[in-house]
Amino acid sequence: MKSYIIIYLLLFPIILNAQCIDQVNFNYWTMEGNPNSTWIVLNDSTVLENGDAQPPTFFVGNEDFLNVKIRGKMKVIDRYDNDFLGFVFGYKSPAWNTSNTDYEFILFDWKKSKGWSFGHFAKEGFSLVKVNKTMNEQDIWNYFWGHKNENNVFEILSTKYGNNKGWHYDTTYYFELTYTSTRIIIIINNETIFDIPGCFEPGRFGFYSFSQQNTVFESFDYQLQFDFKTEPSIVCIDEPVKFLAIDTDCSVIPTNIISWNWDFGDGTTSNDINTEHAYEASGSYPVQLMVIDNNNCRDSVLRIITVKPPPDVNLGPDTLIPYKGSITLDAGFLGAYYYWSTGENTRTITLDNLRKDTLVGVEVNYEGCDGYDDILISVTDPQPSRLYVPNAFSPNGDSKNDIFKPVSKNVDKFKMYIYNRWGTLIYETNDPTNGWDGKFNGSECQLGVYIWKIVYDNMDIEENITNKTLFGHVTLVR
């Protein structure tokens, strides 16, 4: 089947902050792939394909593109056929005038109506395909016509098939391709056909035809379409922030960009592609990225970066507490994340029975920024155990010496027993602050002498602990 494809291309400047080429000389574009097809440049902006577009044929520019928006029109003016039209991008091969070739590009194709050819069935509608395979003639029909899906070979990224999804004769279609390192968006007549995330590399742009004649392409233009991201997404004072124009984990650097310029909004700049910067003060900063390509096309991206201060964590001044004392610390900032040097993760912590000087710190992450404070808790020197036991008491209700109990300091594991003269236990306690009121089973005891026994842990000045047992007597008087 003989095919005639007329392609008109009129490039004009982009407005809206972009200064791009206003025309292109298609003498520098090339036909690639099918050697049975012939692309003839009629003038600088008109191309005629005069040959059999079976297998597919491509007419491709000579520059790599990434992070661009390309727009144009296309229509079919011949009612003879109902097959594929479209375009390729991220194009690396096939090379010029070859028949058994390595295909590597992303293909957007559009079929007017479903149909069979050479034993393969094509559906009506749109497809977006990542192609990477060396193909023979049978492969061509299997993949490009039948759209056999095969990962890393002819990988169908997305489709939109169905009745009334095909193109129509003598109808002008306005298309828009946004192609970045992380996203592909294709819009036809203001309808989004595909919006695909992923990792994509630079490559050339070109036109595509497969068994479809007399297709017109015209009014093409392009503009750069850059953006950037920050890592981390939350920016804090004095913390290095990465400003990434290109995700190098996802793609390579486009070679058509000749100038990169960052303005961080605080009086500093950079000409690196991906760069790093730290802010010394909190506030809002207008960060601008300006890029220029080898056609003097420009794009600028302006974003407001909010730099947050760290949380002002305050555990209070260094302090002194008694030996074996306790203290409660509060990091503040309700709802934050807390990382204490003690291993705890709560807003407040309590330290008990402190016997030596202790430095305690806490890191607080509040709204993405980190603050820190610490406090030195000094402890008084240890005091040896002291125990004084009176030898008389008078439980007569005058509130003077009514209770018999020892006077103690730094005494642990205390127990006291009181016996009458016949050896009967009439009182016991394990609390050194409690004492005997001179009664037994609620009745007042007789005047006289009573025996006491006290058991406790004694600590000396070196903090050595020994268990002691003391005996003595006390006289009950009234």
Quote the tokens at residue 438.
Answer: 């001179």
How far is Cα of residue 124 from the mean position of the Cα atoms in its chain? 40
Residue 455 neighbours by CB distance under 10 Å? 14
pLDDT digits (tens, 9 = 90+) for 179-235: 999 999 999 999 999 999 999 999 999 989 888 888 888 777 889 999 999 999 899
Span 19-58, pLDDT tens digits: 465 556 777 888 887 666 767 776 655 555 545 567 788 8
Q: Tell me which amino acid residue 164 is.
A: N
d(CA 297, CA 291): 8
Q: How far apart are CA 373 and CA 332, in angstroms?
A: 11
* pLDDT over 70, % of the chain: 90
Q: Which pLDDT band holds residue 403 (cuts at 50, 70, 90)?
A: very high
339-356 pLDDT, tens digit per residue, is: 999 999 999 999 999 989
pLDDT > 90? residue 281: yes
Q: How far apart are CA 109 and CA 55, in angstroms?
A: 14
Average pLDDT, the chain: 88
Pairing of strands 319-321, 369-379: parallel
State the Cα–Cα distance between residues 218 and 173, nearest whole angstrom.
Answer: 10
Q: Tell which residue, 35, 33, 56, has the closest CA to residue 147.
A: 56
pLDDT, greater one: 159 or 323: 159
Rounded CA gap, 228 and 235, in Å?
Answer: 14
pLDDT value at 274 more than 70: yes
Listed as own residue / partner, the contacts of 460-463 with beta carbons closer than 8 Å and 24 or more positions apart are 460/384, 460/385, 461/382, 461/384, 463/355, 463/382
| CA dist., res. 253 & res. 27, Å (int) | 27
With cut-offs at 50, 70 and 90, classify the pLDDT of residue 2: very low
- State percent of the chain over pLDDT 90: 65
- For residue 92, give the 3-state DSSP assignment: strand
Classify residue 380 by its DSSP letter.
Answer: P
Contact 345, 338 (CB under 8 A): yes
Burial of 56 (0-12, 13-18, 19+ CB in 10 A): buried
The predicted-structure confidence for 93-140, as pLDDT tens digits, reads as follows: 886 655 557 899 999 999 999 999 989 999 999 999 999 988 877 888
Q: Is the pLDDT of residue 469 over 70?
A: yes
Question: Are 180 and 200 a contacting pair, CB within 8 Å?
Answer: yes
3-state SS track over 304-372: EEEEECCCCCCCCCCEEECCCEEEEEECCCCCCEEEECCCCCCCEEEEEEECCCEEEEEEEEECCEEEE
pLDDT of 17 strictly over 70: no
The pLDDT score that the predictor gives to residue 96 is 63
Phi, psi of 415 (to 5 degrees): -145, 140
Domains of the chain, start order: 3-224 (2.60.120.200), 229-308 (2.60.40.10), 319-379 (2.60.40.10), 386-476 (2.60.40)
Residues 176 and 186 sit within 8 Å (Cβ to Cβ): yes
Contact 175, 187 (CB under 8 A): yes
DSSP code, position 451: E
First CA to last CA distance, the chain: 133
Lowest mean pLDDT among 7-11, 89-93, 111-115, 139-143: 7-11
Backbone angles phi, psi at 138, to 5 degrees: -65, -40
- DSSP summary character for residue 28: G
CB atoms within 10 A of CB 65: 24
306: Cα within 13 Å, side-chain hemisphere = 6
Mean pLDDT along residues 53-70: 86
| Per-residue CA distances from 164 to 123, 321, 365 (Å) | 11, 84, 56
Tokens, residue 408: 């103690």
Task: List the structure tokens of 219.
Answer: 């009014």
Predicted local distance difference test score (pLDDT) of residue 12: 29
Q: Residue 280: its pLDDT value, please? A: 96
Contact in structure between 262 and 273 (CB atoms under 8 Å): no
pLDDT score of 470 more than 80: yes
